[in-house]
Amino acid sequence: MSLNAVAAISLDLDDTLWPFAPSVARAESALQAWLVAHAPKTAARLSAPRALALLRDEYEAAHPELVGDYRALRLGSITEVLASVGEDTALTQPAYDAFYAARNDVEFFEDVLPALTWLGARFPLVAVTNGNADLALTGGGEFFMGALSARQFGAAKPDAAIFHAAARMASVLPSDMLHVGDDFDLDVVGATNAGLQAAWLVRRHDGADISVPSRAGTHVTVSCLLNLCALLGRRDGS
């Protein structure tokens, strides 16, 4: 597939601009250290490997109405841990603050900042995420004209509404907007079903073939954001 004229670009955040798993692992380590220091009776419940991740998953299973609201799930699981050992649940918010600061301490993929510099000079950029990262804290926000998160907007990818809102934010038609992301169903299928163009970002370096699911909408596949810049640059001669 070749891209049609592109007037604006929306980008996913986690696993598109930075690896998600390491940032969450660092955040849970920071949260555990904070809890043990300020609520020492939690240490016994947090001694097992991945204790905080498992406790959060258990809380999500018990509260399906909160699925996708990562802030509420983390706050609830922290409160539950504190209460279960007799610690003050008023510590929930400062504990979460420690977690959230570390969660936004991300390491951008090597191609990202050079690519955002190139893209941001040529297109309005909008961040579209189902996660809870904050570009004001991660860095990189200067390249974006705006951001939409599922929790704040009230709809999550692959819902067409969040893609259409991104196009409105950039003042373009959905068909003139290109969405870029790593998740095939959320980003590619979601965007193309909403009438956007899509670029599937597949950061694989093992030489394996990339099989495209049969449910694929029309899209391009790129291995990094600089690859996308080259593709767009060939179109406009830059």
* Residue 124, domain CATH: 3.40.50.1000
Last residue of a domain, one of 53, 72, 103: 103
* b/e map 22-60, b = 16+ CB within 10 Å: ebbebbbebbbebbeeebeebeebbeeeeebeebbeebb
* pLDDT of 209: 52
- Is 131 found in the same domain as 38? no
The structural domain count of the chain equals 2
Listed residues 73, 103, 133: the one ending a domain: 103
pLDDT, residue 21, reads 93
**Cα separations (Å) of 33 from 1, 29, 166?**
49, 6, 38
Q: Rounded to an integer, what is the distance from CA 18 to the centroid of its chain? A: 9
We report the CATH number of the domain holding residue 64 as 1.20.120.1600
* C-alpha pair distances (Å), 127 with each of 144, 148, 183: 7, 6, 15
Distance CA 139, CA 39 (A): 31
Check residue 206 and give its pLDDT. 46
Q: What is the pLDDT of residue 3?
A: 83
CB distance 176 to 8 below 8 Å? yes
What averages of pLDDT result for each successive group of 10 residues across the chain (238 residues)? Answer: 87 97 95 98 93 94 91 96 97 98 97 98 98 96 97 93 98 98 96 96 67 69 96 72
Domain span including residue 74:
21-103
User: Looking at 156-235, which runs of residues are DSSP E strands?
Assistant: 177-181, 197-201, 220-222
pTM score: 0.89
pLDDT computed for residue 1 by the predictor:
58
